[in-house]
Amino acid sequence: MSIAALQQTGDAVRRGPGRPRDEDLEEQILTGALALIDEGEPVTVRRLVERSGVSRAAIYRRWPSMTTLVAAALDVGRTVPPDIALDDGDLRDAVMGTLVGGRSVSAAGYSEERFRQRIRLAMGDRELQTAYWASHVSRRRVPLERAIAHGIERGILRPELDPTTCCDLLAGVVYYQLVVRGEEMSDPLVWRRCQDAFDIAWRGMLADRG
């Protein structure tokens, strides 16, 4: 029996009816962190122990730093969107479909208030910002980048395009509404402006018809 298997067995044996499972602990810690964030309190280990009732060791065992823990907490409820079906239907509609997620932040299991807190914390802490980018935002962009790459391969989009740059252009419009204008994405006029901007970008991405 391998050491890992032994440890697993040990875990199973040690976990009595009163002992919380690993996922429960994790949820308890993240919920505690989110409560602190929502109250505008700094997330420190001390406060988190007080709030969640989980031990210092249990926290550190799961997250090597408060930065990664806060990044994980900020992402609670968000998921990586499913891959875009690339083999049938209109590519434009499929790409725009992924951007609809931006329409209602709450429809993505994410409140607008949580979004604002995320940006606020990120702007105050560059380490958190880049950790959140690497572990969460960049991963959620993958289906969109793949769909654009597929459009390039099929000759629908221009061969010299970089899917990453296209992604920045499309997503930038939504962030501009929320971060700079202070708009709410549930406002139909705001969403209309985003769609018009997506259309301009898409037109700039299309291959010449020859």
* Contacting positions for a second copy (CB under 8 A): 40, 116-117, 119-120, 122-124, 126, 129-130, 133, 137, 161-162, 164-166, 168-169, 171-177, 179-182, 193, 196-197, 199-205
**If phi over 0 gives left and psi between -120 and 50 gives alpha, with beta otherwise, what is residue 109?**
left
Residue with Cβ nearer a second copy (25 or 178): 178
Dump strand ranges (E) for 24-166.
Answer: none
Minimum separation from the CB atom of position 2 to a second copy (A) = 40
Minimum separation from the CB atom of position 47 to a second copy (A) = 18
CA distance 114 to 74: 7
CA distance 83 to 205: 21
What is the three-class DSSP state of 157?
A: strand
Q: What is the DSSP string of 198-209?
A: HHHHHHHHBPPP
Instruction: Give helix 112-124 / helix 22-38 axis angle, nearest 10°.
Output: 80
Minimum separation from the CB atom of position 186 to a second copy (A) = 14
Residue with Cβ nearer a second copy (86 or 179): 179
Residue with Cβ nearer a second copy (47 or 140): 140
Residue with Cβ nearer a second copy (22 or 38): 38
Minimum separation from the CB atom of position 10 to a second copy (A) = 41
Cα dihedral 198→199→204→209 (10° resolution): 140
Residue with Cβ nearer a second copy (62 or 136): 136
How many CB atoms neighbour CB 98 within 10 A?
A: 20
Residue with Cβ nearer a second copy (28 or 117): 117
Minimum separation from the CB atom of position 126 to a second copy (A) = 6
Taking 3-state DSSP, the helix, strand and coil percentages for the chain, each rounded to the nearest 5, stand at 70, 0, 30
Minimum separation from the CB atom of position 40 to a second copy (A) = 8
